[in-house]
Structure 1
Amino acid sequence: MFRIAICDEDQISCANIENIILSYSKRINEKMEIEVFYSGGELLKFILKEYCFDLIFIEMNLKHINGITVGKIIRDLLDYQRVQIVYMSKTDKYLMELFNIRPMHFIEKPIESYKIINDIRLAMKLTDSLGAVFSYKKGYDIHKVPLKNILYFESEDREIRMVTTTGEEIFYGKLENVYNQVAKYQFVKIHKSYIINYAHASMLNYNEVVMSNTDCLPISQSRRKIIRELFMEHETGVF
């Protein structure tokens, strides 16, 4: 799922951008997750607690923590280099300060819908071209793993066990949040506690999936029919 953040103190501006995104998402039949923030501090707190985004639309002249400072924190302190940042403002007098943040674009207000749509299209292309990764937080550090190297995720209480081609990692989180990151990349939820990477599924049995490392993972009874249909769709090139 493509994740977009909107950060602006102007609630009308936020609502306008959100409506443009929702309309475009519906038109292209691509589900997008949108989070709205009315301050730079709120945005940073969310990123620290949950995850970063694929694309951030942010007002440059925010109070308290301005958009330029937020961008520097995202790039330098949090080391998020893959997120695309689009700055918005009524004036372009601070453009030279944006150079080191490497924004994807600058939009001068008032905002026109086609500019938002063009930036979403470009950000989606850039995200795909960079190769998809899964990002997760462990302690105070942000870690990234190429999705192609992940076999599956297992959830137990608040812990997530991520099994990869080179070993495993355990971190705190919710399986639903994990699924929101990886669903569009052929990851399948086979059970309330398991999400698998289809590319690493070696065999599908009636009640379990055998992974490329020979681990056998259960398929919940309620999902057996759906999982079998998904696997068949993939074999026919639909999934």
Structure 2
Amino acid sequence: MKKINCIIVDDEPLARDVIENYILRVESVNLIASCKNVYEAFNSLQKHKIDLIFLDVHMPEINGIDFLRELNQSPAVIFTTAHLDYAAKSYDLGAIDYLVKPIEFTRFLKAISRVFKHIDYPVTIDNKHSNQSEDFIYLKTEKKLQKIFLKDILYIESSNNYIKVKITDREVIAHKKISEIYDSLPKHKFIRVHRSYIISIDHIDSFSPVEIEIKKFKIPVGRKYRENVKTQLGYY
């Protein structure tokens, strides 16, 4: 299978880590270099045949948009940024997509699919990199991204447009809808049991059709979710 060669260009190490982790899960994409500035990116473009750039907008000295303008022949570009301000300008420059941080895996896949359609390659998800002990997500809390390993999540509780992620040693509160976080989680490891709760199947201590217990926390099972919970957990 022919792969798309890509590079990441972002001055934030955590932001690069997120994209790197996502790329590992897509067999058809090959990461050539993870660059912290446009100078490293330019060197990679000179040395390798690059099909796709994940390009941050705000970077020191030269921003992503100015860098793209300087390229005589640009690969496909997906902009990655924490700001919406430059969306229209990026599409004027021919960008395939514009991803707003923090980036969910489902949204990343949608952008990748657009690239594959653009150059007519198939998309293949690589399940060998979906090991629960290694997978993680980033959640935006206040002004920083927090890395959370999926294996450490006990359950997630929602309150309006916020979620509280209960981890083995702490709680993380983030501004996100519970439906959005659920879409980014592997369904064989996490299950939504209530309009306000998602639980980790691996951490269940005991359960009944109406209640699940995890580390002494008692979590209700919503009426509309009971049949699915019983089926997925094998309650007969």
**TM-score relative to the length of structure 1:** 0.53
Say which of 131, 138, 143 aligns to 2:141: 138
Aligned match of 1:174:
177
Tell me the amino acid that sits aligned with residue 223 of structure 2.
Q
Instruction: Note the aligned Cα RMSD (angstroms).
Output: 3.9
> Where does the alignment leave 5 or more consecutive residues of structure 2 unmatched?
24-28, 32-38, 53-74, 77-116
Of the candidates 206, 216, 227, which is equivalent to residue 225 of structure 1? 227
Task: Report the Cα distance in structure 2 between the residues aligned to 1:199 and 1:158, rounded to whole angstroms.
Answer: 26
Matched residue type, 2:225: R
**What is the letter of the counterpart of residue 168 of structure 1?**
E
Shift of 1:86: 6.4
CA separation of 1:154 and 1:127: change in aligned 2, threshold 3 A: same
Cα deviations across residues 27-82 of structure 1 (Å, max 9, x unaligned)? xxxxxxxxxxxxxxxxxxxxxxxxxxxxxx89x9xxxxxxx7xx322754734342
Please state which structure has a larger fraction of its residues in helix. 1
Q: Percent identity?
A: 19
Scaled by the length of structure 2, the TM-score of the pair is 0.53
* Contact preservation (8 Å) 1:86, 1:105: no
Structure 2 counterparts to residues 45-194 of structure 1, below 5 A:
71-73=8-10, 76=13, 78-80=15-17, 81-84=20-23, 97=42, 99=44, 106=51, 113=120, 116-117=121-122, 120-121=123-124, 124-125=126-127, 127-128=129-130, 131-194=134-197
Following TM superposition, by how much is the alpha carbon of 1:83 offset from its aligned partner in structure 2, in angstroms? Answer: 3.6
Q: How many residues align?
A: 154
User: Does the 8 A contact of 2:157 with 2:196 survive in 1?
Assistant: yes
**Could you say if the C-alpha distance between residues 179 and 111 of structure 1 is closer, same or farther in structure 2, counting changes exceeding 3 Å?**
closer
1:79-116, Cα deviation, whole Å (9 max, x unpaired): 434242769xxxxxx9972639xx99637789653xx3
Residues 96, 229 of structure 1: CA spacing in aligned structure 2 closer, same or farther, 3 A cutoff? closer
Residues 145-198 of structure 1 show CA distances to partners (whole Å, capped at 9, x for unaligned) of 110000000001122110011121111111011001114341000000000000
Residue identity opposite 1:180 in structure 2: D
Residue of structure 1 in register with 2:56 after alignment: none
Separation in structure 2 between the aligned mates of residue 164 and residue 139 of structure 1, nearest angstrom: 18
State the 1:137 CA deviation: 0.8
